């Protein structure tokens, strides 16, 4: 960092020298010594670092699909593809491209949120919205409703007019598939996949253009499985035909979603205590079993 003193003079070369620091707070002070490293970051190294972090962002976004919060959503998407094996390859490609667009758009919204927080001087962090207890509680309820639906205990029936509108909006319900991608991104934000922490930490301290670039890379990485199906819609023919196995798959997906729900409940412990979290988990189990 280029700095000058109060007279405008450049800072001396401190590489290889020991710097003494004194931190004082009221009547308490502590002194420490730091040896200034001799390494400097040249432009070529900076570019190489950015490319390596972009690769980490792609890998981290891809691995997010295997996290407990997101895997059920991707599996549900694939199971819906099995149920609609009669549709054309063009329809399959459009649906998965719409979901990928929902993922990338959501990461752009996250980049916009991070940009606004940085410009306002607020603290930044991955999944920052999950620090709100109210948001966590809403997500617990949403995940629980999805679990109950997968266990065939709850059915969502929309008015016929709304169903028709959703089915024709953007061509074969593309708006709904876009929403599925956005929902998957929302569920991914509390997860810390390998490589994700390094990429996000770099993005939150990098210049704003790099921040946006890294969040786009995260979105592309997470949407890679969806883009793969969009590029090769013929993969649907390789999937098993609909049958009783799909009922067992729904139960497995419901169990995964339920486990993710209770994991979200544990995130409420720092806000409202372990007693509230245990009571909430018990109530959800009673409702599910009842």
Question: Count of domains in the chain?
Answer: 1
Residue 96 Cα distances to 91, 199, 223, angstroms: 9, 26, 9
21 within domain boundaries: no
- Domain span holding position 110: 45-289
89 within domain boundaries: yes
How high is the pLDDT of residue 278?
A: 93
pLDDT digits (tens, 9 = 90+) for 168-204: 444 456 887 888 888 778 777 666 555 666 677 777 7
How high is the pLDDT of residue 143?
A: 76
**What percentage of the chain carries pLDDT values higher than 70?**
66
pLDDT digits (tens, 9 = 90+) for 24-76: 887 788 888 777 765 544 444 555 678 888 888 888 888 877 766 666 666 66
- Residues in CB range of 107: below 8 A, 6 or more apart: 185, 215, 216, 218, 219, 222
Interval 261-276 mean pLDDT: 87
- Residues in CB range of 154: below 8 A, 6 or more apart: 145, 148
Residue entry with tokens 């996000």: 200
204 within domain boundaries: yes
12 within domain boundaries: no
246 within domain boundaries: yes
Q: Helix 208-231 and helix 43-63: axis angle, to 10°?
A: 40
Over its C-alpha atoms, the chain yields an Rg (Å, rounded) of 24
Residue 150, phi-psi category: left (phi > 0), alpha (psi -120 to 50), beta (remainder): alpha
Question: Is residue 284 pLDDT above 80, yes or no?
Answer: yes
How high is the pLDDT of residue 108?
A: 92
Tell me which residue of 150, 167, 120 sits closest to 246, measured CA to CA: 150
Q: Which H or E element spans position 34?
A: strand 28-35
* 240 — pLDDT class (breaks 50, 70, 90): low
Question: Is residue 10 pLDDT above 50, yes or no?
Answer: yes
How high is the pLDDT of residue 131?
A: 65
25 within domain boundaries: no
Interval 157-167 mean pLDDT: 48
How high is the pLDDT of residue 105?
A: 94
22 and 155 Cβ atoms separated by less than 8 Å: no
CA distance 41 to 9: 22
147 within domain boundaries: yes
Interval 248-267 mean pLDDT: 78
Interval 73-83 mean pLDDT: 64
Q: Greatest CA separation found in the chain?
A: 80
82 within domain boundaries: yes
How high is the pLDDT of residue 174?
A: 80
- Residues in CB range of 269: below 8 A, 6 or more apart: 277
């Amino acid at each position: 960092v280029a700095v000058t003193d109060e007279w405008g003079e450049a800072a001396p070369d401190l590489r290889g020298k020991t710097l003494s620091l004194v931190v004082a707070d009221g009547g308490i002070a502590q002194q420490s010594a730091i040896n200034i490293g001799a390494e400097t970051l040249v432009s070529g190294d900076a570019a190489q670092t950015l490319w390596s972090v972009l690769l980490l962002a792609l890998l981290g976004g891809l691995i997010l699909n295997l996290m407990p919060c997101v895997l059920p959503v991707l599996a549900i998407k694939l199971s819906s593809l099995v149920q609609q094996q009669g549709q054309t390859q063009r329809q399959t490609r459009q649906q998965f491209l719409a979901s990928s667009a929902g993922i990338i758009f959501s990461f752009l919204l996250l980049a916009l949120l991070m940009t606004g927080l940085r410009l306002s001087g607020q603290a930044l962090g991955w999944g920052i919205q999950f620090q709100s207890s109210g948001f966590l509680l809403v997500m617990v309820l949403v995940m629980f409703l999805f679990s109950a639906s997968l266990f065939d205990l709850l059915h969502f029936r929309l008015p016929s007019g709304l169903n028709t509108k959703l089915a024709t909006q953007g061509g074969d319900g593309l708006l709904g598939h876009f929403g599925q991608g956005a929902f998957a991104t929302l569920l991914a934000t509390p997860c810390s996949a390998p490589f994700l922490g390094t990429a996000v930490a770099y993005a939150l301290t990098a210049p704003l253009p790099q921040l946006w670039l890294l969040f786009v890379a995260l979105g592309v990485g997470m949407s890679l499985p969806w883009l793969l199906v969009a590029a090769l819609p013929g993969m649907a023919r390789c999937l098993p035909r609909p049958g009783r196995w799909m009922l067992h798959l729904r139960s497995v997906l419901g169990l995964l979603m339920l486990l993710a729900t209770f994991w979200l409940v544990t995130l409420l412990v720092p806000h409202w205590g372990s007693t509230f979290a245990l009571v909430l988990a018990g109530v959800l189990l009673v409702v599910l079993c009842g």
